[in-house]
Amino acid sequence: MITATLKKNTRGFSAINATRGEVYVKMPQSDMVFFQIFADKMGWLVENKTDLLNKFITSRPKNVDITDEEIMEEVRAIRYAQ
């Protein structure tokens, strides 16, 4: 089974009334081709988990002004907080 994220794009809607909802669908891989065709006809964007993860990774800052020690201090503070 795979998971797809389905997002309605703004094609055919005015920018004022356009809202974006997200739906997560688990389906057999064999049905994904049909689903992709259907989504294209509806103007939806279909993304799988890998697409979402890659988008997240590429959007992260490259140079972070924090040291490994500071990161571990925060992890310990959250993990061992009373």
> What tens digit of pLDDT does each residue of 11-21 get?
544 444 567 78
Residue range of the domain that includes 13:
2-79
**Distance in angstroms (rounded) separating the CA atoms of residues 32 and 34:** 5
User: Structural domain tally of the chain?
Assistant: 1
Contact at 8 Å (CB) between 35 and 81? Answer: no
Predicted TM-score of the model (pTM): 0.47
d(CA 55, CA 3): 16
Integer distance in angstroms from the first to the last C-alpha of the chain?
40
What would the pLDDT profile of 27-54 be if each residue is shown by its tens digit? 898 999 999 999 999 888 888 889 889 9
